[in-house]
């Protein structure tokens, strides 16, 4: 496991999520979902997002490195100042994601 790759992936994911958060006028949680859709090839991603996703692919992360990168992103979600604006359904989903990521 390469922690430099994990940090690079975290930064790329965070950059994309923050860009999407601004573009879509939403919160980081929904932006993360949109980022994942863009990574998987959904239409509508701008050049910045596509470039960062290409950099993510070039990192060639292992399953564990992906898991760790997403752990850090999910921790970041807990720290966002507008967490109280996230709906209760999203909060439940977030709690389940934490449980899954830490137990797998």
C-alpha–C-alpha distance, residues 42 and 2, integer Å: 29
Q: Quick one: average pLDDT of 31-45?
A: 89
Q: What gap in Å lies between CA 33 and CA 55, rounded to an integer?
A: 19
Contact 45, 38 (CB under 8 A): yes
Lookup result for tokens 């923050």:
18
Per-residue pLDDT tens over the stretch 55-103:
999 999 999 999 899 888 888 877 765 555 555 555 556 666 665 555 5
Which residues have C-beta within 8 Å of that of residue 24, sequence separation ≥ 6? Answer: 30, 31, 34
The residue range of the domain holding 70 is 3-103
Distance CA 11, CA 25 (A): 21
**pLDDT higher than threshold 80 for residue 51:** yes
Q: What is the DSSP string of 30-59?
A: HHHHHHHHHHTT-TT--HHHHHHHHHHHHH
| Interval 24-47 mean pLDDT | 88
Domain total in the chain: 1
Rounded to two decimals, the pTM is 0.77
pLDDT at 27: 80
Question: The domain that contains 56 carries what CATH number?
Answer: 1.10.150
């Amino acid at each position: 496991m390469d922690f430099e790759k994990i940090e690079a992936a975290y930064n790329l994911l965070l950059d994309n999520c923050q860009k999407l958060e601004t573009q879509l006028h939403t919160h980081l949680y929904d932006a993360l979902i949109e980022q994942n859709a863009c990574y998987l090839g959904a239409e509508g991603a701008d050049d910045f997002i596509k470039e960062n996703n290409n950099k993510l692919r070039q990192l060639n992360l292992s399953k564990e490195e992906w898991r760790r990168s997403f752990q850090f992103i999910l921790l970041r979600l807990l720290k966002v100042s507008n967490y109280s604006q996230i709906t209760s359904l999203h909060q439940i989903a977030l709690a389940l994601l934490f449980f899954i990521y830490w137990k797998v």
